[in-house]
Chain A
Amino acid sequence: GQNIDQPTEMTATEGAIVQINCTYQTSGFNGLFWYQQHAGEAPTFLSYNVLDGLEEKGRFSSFLSRSKGYSYLLLKELQMKDSASYLCAGGDSNYQLIWGAGTKLIIKP
């Protein structure tokens, strides 16, 4: 079957670094997305990886290993506004993303 696994909740301290892991099993593979969703708001796009390696975008980086079916989102210099849910989604066809349930990240001062 197809599945996306990510931790339910994580806690980190303001100014620190946190890594949110995601493992996926999809029939075929067409890339791995990360979205951010603040409470009560729409998900917003963070990153898309289709090749192995690390993609850096400011304080956020995303890593993909296709052979391991594994990705992570790395957040540096955490700020209180980074408190949100982070959604991992894998593409298995041209039309459909398989979504994880999201990781709720709590930032403490």
Chain B
Amino acid sequence: ETGVTQTPRHLVMGMTNKKSLKCEQHLGHNAMYWYKQSAKKPLELMFVYSLEERVENNSVPSRFSPECPNSSHLFLHLHTLQPEDSALYLCASSQEVQIYNEQFFGPGTRLTVL
């Protein structure tokens, strides 16, 4: 148990569906992250938030829309996804956004797009 929870753990959706992934951290951290992990590929950083403000967006398609209502919660809203978006989506948090801070990861949401 890392102090970062994610729901749902598994999600199957069609290309026309709209769904949301939720992440919550109980560590009092100020920074939160969304990553995409595909088989045998490096972790891809999608979004970074510091104190509810987005500080990094790595050219992610607009069909992924993040939301950070407070420093403990992070959402990833999904719509009109493609099959190649099927992957493990990991949420992480750290004390601050500076690089030397250890990141604590949630268990991930396994997403399958049909």
A residues bordering B, Cβ < 8 Å? 4, 8, 30-31, 33, 41-45, 48, 50, 87, 89, 91, 93-102
Residues of A within 8 A of B107 (CB): 41-42
Q: Are B102 and A45 in contact (CB under 8 A)?
A: yes
Q: Are A48 and B97 in contact (CB under 8 A)?
A: no
Given contact pairs A44-B2, A44-B105, A95-B48, A100 touches B99 in the complex (Cβ within 8 A): no
Q: What distance in Å separates the Cβ of B4 from its nearest Cβ neighbour in chain A?
A: 7
Contact of B4 among A8, A33, A42, A87 (CB under 8 A): A42
Contact of A87 among B43, B45, B55, B102 (CB under 8 A): B43
Residues of B within 8 A of A41 (CB): 107
Given contact pairs A44-B105, A99-B43, A93 touches B99 in the complex (Cβ within 8 A): yes
Judged by DSSP, the binding face of B is loop
Contact of B103 among A4, A31, A45, A101 (CB under 8 A): A45
Q: What distance in Å separates the Cβ of B9 from its nearest Cβ neighbour in chain A?
A: 10
Hey, what's the 0/1 contact readout for B43-63 against A, CB within 8 Å counting as 1? Answer: 111001000000110100000
25 pairs of residues in contact across A and B, judged by CB atoms under 8 Å: A4-B42, A30-B100, A31-B100, A33-B102, A42-B2, A42-B4, A42-B90, A43-B43, A45-B102, A45-B103, A48-B100, A48-B102, A93-B99, A94-B99, A95-B48, A96-B45, A96-B56, A97-B45, A97-B103, A99-B43, A99-B45, A100-B42, A101-B40, A102-B40, A102-B42
Contact of B99 among A4, A43, A44, A95 (CB under 8 A): A95
Q: Are A91 and B100 in contact (CB under 8 A)?
A: yes
Residues of B within 8 A of A4 (CB): 42
Q: Which residue of B lies closest to A96 (CB)?
A: B45
Q: Are A101 and B56 in contact (CB under 8 A)?
A: no
Contact of A95 among B42, B43, B97, B106 (CB under 8 A): B97
Contact of A42 among B48, B99, B106 (CB under 8 A): B106
Residues of A within 8 A of B2 (CB): 42, 44
